[in-house]
């Protein structure tokens, strides 16, 4: 009897924070900014979290000859800082006239007009030669509050606002008894944010940012980011099964990150630092 399809397949297309980097010293962990794809293989549905520069590679894979194109595609955003939206103008499927792409904004202050304005404003005029209205795809702007359930896929999503300049969202995604939590661009401060611990409670996979070391975090109050130690603390306190740390600082090369991964695994054995192209099945 064949094995059942996984509930969710998670693939990393962008693992870098702040700005893309390109150098021979950044090949293993990747240089593209934030983008995570969540495939529901039994439903041919693709959900994308953030549209940093990594979304370009995702788009190229979708457009490749013989690739299985998803029947439904949704792009959700943790927030709208440039490293989380800058790849959208270079996402090839957005230029397909027969394609509908859902663009989702959740959480407090969720607003249809705000979402539309943010994405339209980064294109056209002085910023890009093509206006968003001329891209071609049919964009369906969706704004929701803190929770949504997709009856057609059996997936539920809970969003929770966390501390970051301008605000940002963590997501808890559940399907078929499997739980994925994504929490990036989060500043815990002096103590771990217990709301995020509860959001991540007993998750199968926690994707948590870790841009800085504990030492680097000193003096960066208000910058909106976390350390490796804080990511591990959340995982331990929430009893998660696996931790993947992402949003790597642009100054941290492959050698640095590889050493840091070993250090983290001594404290939380089932942990990894995200690499572009990494695939996790739940």
- The Cα 280–Cα 2 span in angstroms is 20
Q: Taking a C-beta distance cutoff of 8 angstroms, is the pair 185, 193 a contact? A: no
Domain regions of the chain by residue span = 9-281
CATH of 9-281, one of 3.90.76.10, 3.60.15.10, 3.40.980.10, 3.40.50.1100: 3.60.15.10
Give the mean pLDDT of 5-20.
96
Q: What is the pLDDT of residues 191-205, one digit of tens each?
A: 999 999 999 999 999
Residue 105 contacts residue 111 (beta carbons within 8 Å): yes
pLDDT digits (tens, 9 = 90+) for 127-146: 899 999 899 999 998 887 77
Q: Is the distance from CB of 170 to CB of 183 less than 8 angstroms? A: yes
Kind of pairing between the strands at 35-40 and 9-14: antiparallel
- pLDDT confidence bin for 217, thresholds 50/70/90: very high
Q: Residues 208, 210, 215, 216: is their CA dihedral positive or negative?
A: negative
Orientation angle between helical segments 228-238 and 254-267, nearest 10 degrees: 30
| 214 φ/ψ angles, rounded to the nearest 5 degrees | -60, -40
CA atoms within 13 A on the CB side of 199: 26
Percent of the chain that is helix, strand, coil (3-state, to 5):
25, 30, 45
Report the alpha-carbon distance of residue 171 to residue 190 in Å, rounded. Answer: 22
Confidence check: pLDDT of 235 > 80: yes
Distance CA 142, CA 115 (A): 8
Phi, psi of 223 (to 5 degrees): -80, -20
Residue predicted with more confidence, 71 or 266: 266
| pLDDT for res 204 | 98
pLDDT in tens, 166-187: 889 999 999 999 999 999 999 9
The arrangement of strands across the sheet holding 271-273 comes to 147-150, 155-162, 168-175, 178-183, 205-209, 243-246, 271-273
250/211 Cα distance (integer angstroms): 9
| pLDDT of 214 over the 90 cut | yes
Q: What is the pLDDT of residue 75?
A: 96
Indicate whether 267 pLDDT > 70.
Answer: yes
Q: pLDDT tens digit string along 109-129?
A: 556 677 788 888 888 888 899
| Residues 84/52, Cβ–Cβ less than 8 Å | yes
The residues that bridge with 75 in the sheet, in sequence order, are: 48, 103
What is the reported pLDDT for 3? Answer: 64
Residue 49: band (very low, low, confident or very high) from pLDDT cuts 50, 70, 90: very high
pLDDT for 158 beyond 50: yes
**In whole angstroms, what is the distance from residue 34 CA to residue 54 CA?**
6
- Supply the pLDDT for residue 1: 40
């Amino acid at each position: 009897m064949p094995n059942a399809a996984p509930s969710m397949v998670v693939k990393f297309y962008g693992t870098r924070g702040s700005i893309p980097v390109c150098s021979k010293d950044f090949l293993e962990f990747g240089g593209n900014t934030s983008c995570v794809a969540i495939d529901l293989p039994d439903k041919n549905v693709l959900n994308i979290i953030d549209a940093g520069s990594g979304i370009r590679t995702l788009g190229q894979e979708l457009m490749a000859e013989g690739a299985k194109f998803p029947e439904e595609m949704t792009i959700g955003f943790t927030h709208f800082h440039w490293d989380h939206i800058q790849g959208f103008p270079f996402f090839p499927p957005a230029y397909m006239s027969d394609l509908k792409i859902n663009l989702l904004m959740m959480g407090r202050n969720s607003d249809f007009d705000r979402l539309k304005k943010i994405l339209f404003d980064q294109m056209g005029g002085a910023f890009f030669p093509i206006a968003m209205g001329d891209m071609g795809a049919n964009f369906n702007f969706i704004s929701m509050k803190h929770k949504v359930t997709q009856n057609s896929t059996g997936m539920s999503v809970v969003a929770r606002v966390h501390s970051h300049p301008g605000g940002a969202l963590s997501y808890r995604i559940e399907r078929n008894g499997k739980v994925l939590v994504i929490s990036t661009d989060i500043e815990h401060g002096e103590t771990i944010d217990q709301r995020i611990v509860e959001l991540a409670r007993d998750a199968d996979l926690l994707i948590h940012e870790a841009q800085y070391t504990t030492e680097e975090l000193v003096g960066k109050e208000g910058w909106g980011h976390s350390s490796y130690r804080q990511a591990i603390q959340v995982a331990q306190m929430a009893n998660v099964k696996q931790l993947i740390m992402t949003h790597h600082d642009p100054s941290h090369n492959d050698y640095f990150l590889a050493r840091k991964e070993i250090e983290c695994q001594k404290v939380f054995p089932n942990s990894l630092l995200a690499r572009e192209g990494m695939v996790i099945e739940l």
